[in-house]
Chain A
Amino acid sequence: MNIFRFAGDMSHVVSILVLLLRLRSSKSAVGISLKTQELFLIVFVTRYLDLFTTFYSLYNSFMKVAYIASTTYIIWMIRFQEPYKSKYDASQDSFLHIKFAVAPCAGLALFACLVKGELSPIDILWTFSIFLEALAIVPQLFVLQRYREVENLTGHYVFFLGAYRGLYILNWVYRSYYEQFYRHNWLVYVSGAVQTALYVDFFYYYVVSKYYGGKLTLPT
């Protein structure tokens, strides 16, 4: 564990708390992509199967369970609980059908694992989750773009998620310098870089709006 990874994890936790606060305070899920949440749940469930096979630390297991539980709760709120359910507008969240994200990632993961000779289902699903995580934020960014004017807490939510990914890149740099037995995984680096790059545009407008103290509005 290093400071960048810990700060990244905390940023991830803060983003989830901000999202919960955002849902509760506005009593609606307008501007929030249910698809992104569902993709994240698929990512967590497929990646954290090692909860049953490998114990790393209490911290590690706790966080995994917390991510799965909180994301499940958010999805349940938007799908089944009032007033979120009736206010949720699926037509605003139409970008990227889940199967068009899942299928290519599954194919790519299968291919990558075949090449590497990792044939256990847990390895293949782990690799799949690495690819899928890079795409998971896309529907949310698309929803932001549709409404253009981004509500404050929603903006913070995406900011903290992006910060988490940025800090993970610093964590990899740190680990490759200071951990003697650290093994590079280029698939993780590339999808991590792609994922972070997706946030860059949003970050720019977020920082500018904070600097000038105005509302966060995205260009068309």
Chain B
Amino acid sequence: KVTEEMKDEL
């Protein structure tokens, strides 16, 4: 899913 990119970073 495109919106998940890099969103695990703080």
Contact = CB atoms under 8 A, between A and B. Distances in A.
Interface of A: 5, 9, 12, 50, 54, 56, 60, 63-64, 67, 116, 118, 120, 123, 126, 168, 171, 183-185, 188
Interface residues of B, number: 9
Interface of B: 2-10
A168 B5 CA distance: 15
Q: Which 3 residue pairs spanning A and B have beta carbons closest together?
A: A183-B5, A185-B5, A56-B8
Contacts of A168: 9
Nearest to A1: B8
Contact of A183 (B6, B9, B10): B6
Contacts of A56: 8
Contacts of B3: 118, 120, 123
